[in-house]
A and B are shown apart, each in its own frame.
Chain A
């Protein structure tokens, strides 16, 4: 999530270094005072220096958020590694409080482990690999783990400790390492190393952090784990919090998710910059073959059309592509019609799996889930919306001892924790008229709403990758999915109310009928008659009414009518035939009369 900005910045820094001091006035990074010693000042502008001043670029803004991001990076990494090897993730996390805002984090997984030679590369090299890949991924592109190591080093100066056990042939090899990051050279400096005997594969990393804080808030690390578990029911996480309390989030599903396949990007979802990257990385020799082989739904015929429309020679070498050319081609894409993109690259969690996850974590009274069919936004990027709704039990969040509804936003299974306000998911859910589904006060309902958007290109609103752009098609899909769930909930609530009502009704009769009959006997100065049959009758009738059956009693009414009219006459007033609905006025309030 941090990598985009970082990537650009680092590129920029490298560019600056390469070109030595060519900067003219007006640049933001370096001031252009006449007396500045460029050489000297410029050497201070190392990445580490830069990030110390601009930690927010790494996503580490705020003490709570920083720790959440660390959890996110490490957990995501472990999940990806395990899944790629077909292993069900099992993660142990321990957070130990050393002092105020000073913690030790121990994170252990059961993944395939990292071969010794690659350990420092994984944890100390930033920005490794930036090839354009159109694949549904949890959203991180390389900076993740090393960013955590950098934050640790920056705030505490302490080295990272890693134990990695991995398979070498049929053998399990293990190594225990202590190292620091060499920020200038983008590598690691090994400090200690020894062999380690492990029984199974996996990585355990220990990092220290200062200026971070552990919180139970919605943006905190604990909530992050809780939500992660709902989106990843095939995982198991054991978490020991700073107070020593051990939370075990059990696995709810035993299937390792199918790995998403890389699919070629659809022309409608490609930017000029993407196209430049493709051109740089392709092994094709001409524009035309580069285009047809790098994108889906791109035929030779289409490539010819582009040549015609843009006047660009399609036989040129891709490496020579200029940015204006790329822009022209992308403009063309926008005007052309393509088949919808293939959707086999999208792997949803699946409604059953979501249900399992929600049941496991929320222990709800009622849960319903849905996985929609793939559709596209912006004309060519396919996506799938999945939604879940849990009611009662541990659903919702407790705020001031009251359960409130909560929205859990996910993109490609990863919880989106920040920037909820502007997100398509929030917008879609807020736009639903919940009253129509019998929820009069949504905010104060014990409800958890889960929405996951699966796409090879989730349209994030900001570089923080914490909110989804409210594309009309996406908002519409989320609404459709959620309204379907809301209808299910409404059914459930109705059935529940009816059952409760039924119970209440038969209770009312059992309680009241005997006392009323006794009292009536006292009033009429008679004995108490046998009333069991009448009691059975009324209970049965009430049930019929409840089921919406019409109870006939019209005949009875006619008879009684006559009797009462007679009595009234006897007492001095007859009933007027006419009905005038006059608007009478009176000082006193009229008593409420139920008919």
Chain B
């Protein structure tokens, strides 16, 4: 599968493919070289333990620290994992070469035929992550896909997925669904100026119905709760490749805050790939505690778990700026939360007619 190394005239997709393929191959060569030198091969895998996850102030997301775990051929506990890693690497190399993808569940079943199989899906997930973090490539690059689809996108963006050209404004009322293979999708054209991501599909459809995409010249992204990896990847790419500002509008509660925050600053768990997932430039639009007061929204009382969560968030480095600290304190003080759809108190159109324009005005100036 030795392709010619020639960066000229190669697409984003092809460059990534080649890079990943060589990384995988290099892992095998590294092991064999050690054997040839009659040394016991061992691979060092950056630790993903709690103690090794560090918030990088400059990058504004979590990264892995400098602690490493070891997978040695000479250690009875590690040899299994090393072996599994080599098998997974071969499996991924094959996927990359054939431009196929597999879910980790599928890989788990394929592993039944390997010399060292997995005892559980959990075990195979960990080894998959080991490989990601060791090679510094994402799971998607390796051809391993999560099960779930990403968010819905509506608005004037044209994508090339394999040979199919799709315009997300002409893909039906529910828009284009972000595929787990989003990295293999090329952006062909884009006629919008910004991206607004919303937590619920209810709000997504409200915006589509009110022509928000046209009125604000925006892409509408329906996150469907906590954003999938593909969604975060997509948001990052439109933000960086197309230089579109990203605004996130969620429910006004700690969970809505955190859905936004994971998009902006990445998650601790995926610290090793946050450089490919976090969009530090994305902005949280609302619903803030201040909004709840200002728009006098219908509210629910904060439950104990909400209060606890808010307190946790206030200690998290991702929330340490003044904006978040003020909003968290304010919410705790009023003891109330509000859903994004509660604007319909003032009529269905109110959120698009009044709230979004006012917030965009605030955020963009």
Contact = CB atoms under 8 A, between A and B. Distances in A.
A595 to B, nearest CB: 4
Contacts of A573: 56, 59, 63, 275
Interface stretch (B29-37, B104-112, B209-217, B286-294): B29-37
A192 to B, nearest CB: 77
A586 B309 CA distance: 10
B76 A542 contact: yes
A519 B87 contact: yes
Given A591-B125, A591-B269, A542 B75 contact: yes
A35 interface: no
Contact of B35 (A517, A553, A565, A575): A517
Contacts of A508: 76, 79-80
Interface stretch (A210-218, A227-235, A530-538): A530-538
Interface in A514-547: 515-517, 519-526, 529, 531, 533-534, 537-538, 541-542, 545
B47 A593 contact: yes
Given A512-B116, A582-B317, A594 B77 contact: yes
B64 interface: yes
Nearest to A516: B83
A564 interface: yes
A542 B268 contact: no
Interface in B329-359: none
A164 B269 CA distance: 88
A504 to B, nearest CB: 8
A182 interface: no
B136 A571 contact: yes
Contact-residue size bin, chain A (C-beta under 8 Å from the other chain):
35 or more
B267 interface: yes
Nearest to B274: A573
B115 interface: yes
Nearest to A522: B90
Contact of B267 (A519, A551, A586, A592): A586
Contacts of A538: 40, 73-74, 79
Contact of A509 (B2, B29, B76): B76
A576 B136 contact: no
B44 interface: yes
A98 B220 CA distance: 94
B24 interface: yes
Nearest to B54: A576
B315 A586 contact: no
B48 A591 contact: yes
B71 to A, nearest CB: 9
Contact-residue size bin, chain B (C-beta under 8 Å from the other chain):
35 or more
Given A534-B73, A578-B54, A595 B38 contact: no
Contacts of A520: 27-28, 31-32, 35, 41, 86
A537 B2 CA distance: 34
Given A521-B32, A561-B68, A575 B268 contact: no
B118 interface: no
A579 B54 contact: yes
Contacts of B303: none
Interface string A555-595: 01100110011011011110111111111111110111111
A530 to B, nearest CB: 8
B63 A575 contact: yes
B136 A516 contact: no
B126 A592 contact: yes
Among B63, B72, B80, B83, the most chain A Cβ lie within 10 Å of the Cβ of B83
A570 B72 CA distance: 25
A556 B42 contact: yes
B316 interface: yes
Contacts of A531: 35
Nearest to B81: A594
Contacts of B76: 504-505, 508-509, 542, 545
A586 B93 contact: no
B25 A524 contact: yes
Contacts of B2: 525
Nearest to A538: B74
Contacts of A581: 50-51
B267 A567 contact: no
Nearest to A539: B74
Contacts of A595: 47, 49, 67-70
A513 to B, nearest CB: 6
Contact of A564 (B31, B46, B75): B46
Contact of B53 (A521, A525, A584): A584
Nearest to B34: A534
B216 to A, nearest CB: 30
Contacts of A504: 76
A37 to B, nearest CB: 85
B32 A587 contact: no
Contact of A516 (B38, B67, B86, B137): B86
Interface string A302-344: 0000000000000000000000000000000000000000000
Contact of B65 (A509, A541, A579): A579
B35 A524 contact: no
Given A512-B80, A556-B42, A593-B49, A576 B63 contact: yes
B90 A523 contact: yes
Contacts of A585: 268, 309, 312-313, 316
Interface in B74-128: 74-83, 86-87, 89-90, 93, 115-116, 122, 125-126
Interface of A: 504-505, 508-509, 512-513, 515-517, 519-526, 529, 531, 533-534, 537-538, 541-542, 545, 551, 553, 556-557, 560-561, 564-565, 567-568, 570-573, 575-588, 590-595
Given A581-B50, A590-B269, 8 more contacts: A517-B32, A520-B86, A523-B90, A526-B28, A570-B136, A575-B65, A590-B50, A593-B69
13 contacts: A512-B80, A517-B31, A520-B28, A521-B32, A537-B38, A538-B73, A541-B40, A579-B51, A579-B65, A582-B53, A582-B316, A585-B312, A590-B269
Closest 10 CB pairs of A and B: A523-B28, A524-B28, A515-B115, A524-B29, A538-B74, A520-B31, A584-B268, A571-B136, A595-B69, A516-B83
